[in-house]
Structure 1
Amino acid sequence: MTKVLYLLNFAGKAGTERYVETLVNYLSADGLVQPFFAYHEGGLLVERLEEMGVPCRRVEMRRRFDYKAARDLAALCTEWGIDLVHCHYLREHYTALLAKKYNPHIRVVYTNHFVLANDAVTRFTNRILDKRQDQMIAVCNKGKEQLIANGWSGERIQVIFNAVDLDAWAGERSQSTLRAELGLDEGRFVMLCASRFADDKGHRYLIDSVKRLTQRTDKPFTLVLAGDGPLLEPTKAQVKQLALEDCVKFIGFRKDIKNLYKGSDLYVNASRHEALSFLIIEAMAAGLPVIATDMGGNSDIVNDEAGCGLLVEYDNPDSMAAAMERFLEDPSFTDACRENARRTIEAKFEVHKMARATFGVYEKALHDGFQGV
């Protein structure tokens, strides 16, 4: 069994943490991987992995070129007999690559969770460290293109979409308590957005879109906003300023995300940056059609072939409002997208396929990887 150390700077509660937990769960359940976990800053993921019996250890990683962290990581890999380190952001990625100097046995796999251009200095250091890299994973096609543009070797980059377990998201509307909690009747059209309240998540223009929607349709609807973050209070103030309190509801950070999906009719993504959103594919697995911005890897999920929703232009309230209106006014279109959503997940974003493909990358790194220097 391959011993894999999952390395993450901040072990919080976002999509990357969900990715790590998914791999740990399914690869260990299939007897392919014995998982271990190391982190710099603890959070909810540490709690969850410890509950699963995964050994966890803190490794201080203060910056990208932190040689003390690299030595500490190499020593931890020796202590635990680690074969491969799977990391997810540049700080821990650089740390793992530098650790090969002190423990040449380990191999390194890096998953890129963003579609973001690096600056010139980072592109230069990427090219230098590329000779130590074994394998890389991009979670969407545009992510692979960006990795190459950022200085990494394309022949060692595999595209493996994020994925979910369809069985975990099965269920009926009647199982949800969301509508009763908010006092919403069954006939009301409910849209859900569960993004963190941060600048790149697009809440400002999403609220502007809702205002435009109220001017375009008489159909009753509610937008439910789940999550927390630094821009929560400014967003609440914007809703009050636009007199949208009757149709926009804030419910805070929630762990019962399936309950929220099952009580909704549509999932809305308004983000500026996406690689391949777990929230989108979870919502689809739960049977929801999707509106998503045409950014990053969203077009790998929502497109004409999939027929599961609509792409809109980022920061364009008219584009978003028109898409919302389409779902409100055309029930047959909504039903068709709902049917296609689960079909799309089964075909392209199913968790067992993703886990096996990722393990294939581990095997390639172990058998064909580059020796650290």
Structure 2
Amino acid sequence: MNVLFVNSIGRNKFGGGEKWMVNAARGLGARNHNVVIASKKNSRTIEYARSKGVSTKVFEIRGDLSPLTTLRIAHYLKQHNIDILICNLNKDVRVAGLAARLAKTPIVLARHGMLLCSRKWKHKVTITNLTDGIITNSRTIRDTYSQYGWFPADFVKVIYNGLDIPEKVEPYNFAARFSRKKIIYSAGRLSGQKGFNYLIEAAAILRKERSDLLFAISGDGKLEDDLTNQIRRLKLEDTVALLGFSDDINPMLKGCDLFVLASLFEGMPNVVMEAMAMGKPVVATDVNGARELMGTNESGTECNTGIIIPPRDPQAIADAIRSIIDSPSALYTLGQAGYERVKNTFTTEAMVSNLERYLLQTLSEKTAPISGLRSY
């Protein structure tokens, strides 16, 4: 197959969706498919893809309508005989998806790592006309889309994220900077979606009770100044540390005691999977995919890899942390269960196999009635 991924996320933005795309491209490439990732010039996505040996192409998609960019992409699709185009954002579907229709590219797919399609008419028109399906990473997203009544039963395909568990990770030495502290760690873009303001409020609640906790946050973004001011206003300079962006958070995960996801919404939160892979227990808000990833009992109320809490609730975050942070045995047991769950269910190999199988099947079904096309 010849596959092109298009992702027009901002140059300085990089998250789970971008990691998934690079891992998927690298995995398909290792199976002798020709795969390219297209993004903005000098973007973190391009840089990360190149660092992983993935071929890249620059396309500047800035809005929903860009005739010249559409024509350039259409030319590229024809020139390189692209079989499958996979788009990340809605504007990618509108610009690149239209290009694929002009170029008669066999398959166009949207990849939704979170709820990107609402009931707005423009989403219905573009998704139903410019794509042949949606790949998502969560049953909850698939079930939400099924309620819209727009799509055939098999239009939305769930393919879980996956990762490679590193054989050896040297733990970050938090003690060198924060001696005699228990480390509660979090990571992500410093944006409203990630709920770091609620995590900082939880830190303030616990700071009134004790001084031996350190909340460390990796990431950068537009809310950095706001969060810094919140830390100062609450006098938490000795309790909350903003560590900045890191393209490899495994050492911090390995060196912390507990990971917290405070997000208001997600798809399948990659960072939770990464924490579990490092053997760390997780406190996570009840957002799309968290329960599927962490695993719950049949009633969906209990989880053996961590604690699931409601979003926008600093008290719930504080209570969850308080309930396990002083029990080494509980932290270890939850962390080991998370590690085993990722190792057995959420590997890159499994993800790439499922993706490859789906792409080949979709391409075969689309091209089978037409004679003279390439065989796969």
What is the TM-score of this pair, normalised by structure 2? 0.88
Runs of 4+ in 1 over 6 A off after TM superposition: none
> Structure 1 42/361 Cα, relative in aligned 2: closer, same or farther at 3 Å?
farther
Amino acid at match of 1:18: K
Query: How many Å separate the matches in 2 of 1:20 and 1:72?
Result: 22
Offset at residue 116 of structure 1 (A)? 4.9
Aligned ranges 1:57-206 → 2 under 5 Å: 57-116=57-116, 118-126=118-126, 129-149=127-147, 151-166=150-165, 168=166, 170-171=167-168, 175-185=170-180, 188-206=181-199
> Structure 1 52/282 Cα, relative in aligned 2: closer, same or farther at 3 Å?
closer
Check whether the contact 1:9–1:92 (CA below 8 A) recurs between aligned residues. yes
Aligned ranges 1:295-314 → 2 under 5 Å: 295-305=287-297, 307-314=304-311
Amino acid at match of 1:204: N
CA deviation vs aligned residue, 1:29-73 (integer Å, no higher than 9, x gap): 233x21112224541221233345544322233433444433321
Query: How many Å separate the matches in 1 of 2:48 and 2:338?
Result: 29
Query: How many Å separate the matches in 2 of 1:51 and 1:189?
Result: 34
Amino acid at match of 1:25: R
Offset at residue 180 of structure 1 (A)? 4.2
Check whether the contact 2:15–2:188 (CA below 8 A) recurs between aligned residues. no
Offset at residue 132 of structure 1 (A)? 4.8
Amino acid at match of 2:186: C
CA deviation vs aligned residue, 1:87-109 (integer Å, no higher than 9, x gap): 11111123333223322143112
Higher normalized contact order (CA 8 Å, seq sep 6+, divided by chain length): 1
Offset at residue 282 of structure 1 (A)? 0.7
Amino acid at match of 2:270: F
Amino acid at match of 1:30: R
**Deviates most, 20-29 or 61-70:** 61-70
Amino acid at match of 1:162: N
Amino acid at match of 1:270: A
Number of residue pairs aligned between Structure 1 and Structure 2: 361
Structure 1: gaps (5+ residues): none
CA deviation vs aligned residue, 1:171-207 (integer Å, no higher than 9, x gap): 36xx22331442434xx32111112111111111111
Query: How many Å separate the matches in 2 of 1:90 and 1:149?
Result: 19
Kindly report the root-mean-square deviation, in angstroms, between the aligned alpha carbons of the 2 structures. Answer: 2.3
What is the TM-score of this pair, normalised by structure 1? 0.89
Query: How many Å separate the matches in 2 of 1:198 and 1:116?
Result: 17
Q: What secondary structure sits across from 1:154 in the alignment?
A: coil
Q: What secondary structure sits across from 2:337 in the alignment?
A: helix
1:18 match: 19
Check whether the contact 1:109–1:362 (CA below 8 A) recurs between aligned residues. no
> Structure 1 42/293 Cα, relative in aligned 2: closer, same or farther at 3 Å?
same
Query: How many Å separate the matches in 1 of 2:117 and 2:111?
Result: 15
